[in-house]
Structures are given as C-alpha cells and as structure tokens.
Amino acid sequence: MDKNIIYCQDACMFCQRAYRLLEQRGIPFSKRYVKSQADWNEVFEKTGRNTVPQVFIKGVYIGGSDDLYEADQTGKLDEILNG
C-alpha cells in the first residue's frame, strides 16, 4: 500500500503546489481524486477537513498545502521521511 497520498483535484492550484514540492524533493506519491460526495466524506473522516489537498506522507497526516510547506521548512517532513 502506498503511504504517500494526496487527496486532490487537478484544477486546484494548492494541489499543484503540493505536487511541485513533493516532485522537487523526489518524494513519490499517489493521487486520490476527490470527485464524489463519498470521496469528500472519506477525506473528512480521515482529516476533519473538507478541502484539498490533504497530504499523507508515510501514512502520517501532514495537512494541506501550507502545512506541507511548513513541514518542509521546519524539518518535520525530513523527520517523517527518515523516521
């Protein structure tokens, strides 16, 4: 099972921003497209949020695009990747 997952929509500029960071860092990830109400329900159940992107790295919930960038800046992303 892939542990690096982004719940996303391709038309979302914040999703595109998250993709770019992960690609620049060489972190492989899978996209889970949020299209239906059932998809939105799944996102909300797992995160408590109803926006995209929602990022999981190595199964650890990071949050949205801003959260991902903050994790990268503070070293939290490296800790998760190396832990």
In this predicted model, what pLDDT tens digit does every residue of 17-66 receive, in sequence order? Answer: 999 999 999 999 999 999 999 999 999 999 999 999 999 999 999 999 99
Whether this prediction's pTM lies above 0.85 is answered by yes
Is the CA virtual torsion 30, 43, 62, 16 positive or negative? positive
Mean pLDDT, residues 4-29 taken together? 96
In sign, the C-alpha dihedral spanning 1, 62, 28, 11 is: positive
Of the pLDDT bands very low, low, confident and very high (cuts 50, 70, 90), residue 69 is very high
Residue 1 has pLDDT above 60, yes or no: no
What is the band of 83 on the pLDDT scale with cuts at 50, 70, 90?
Answer: confident
**Cα–Cα distance for residue pair 68/59, rounded to 1 Å:** 14
Class of 5-82 per CATH? alpha beta
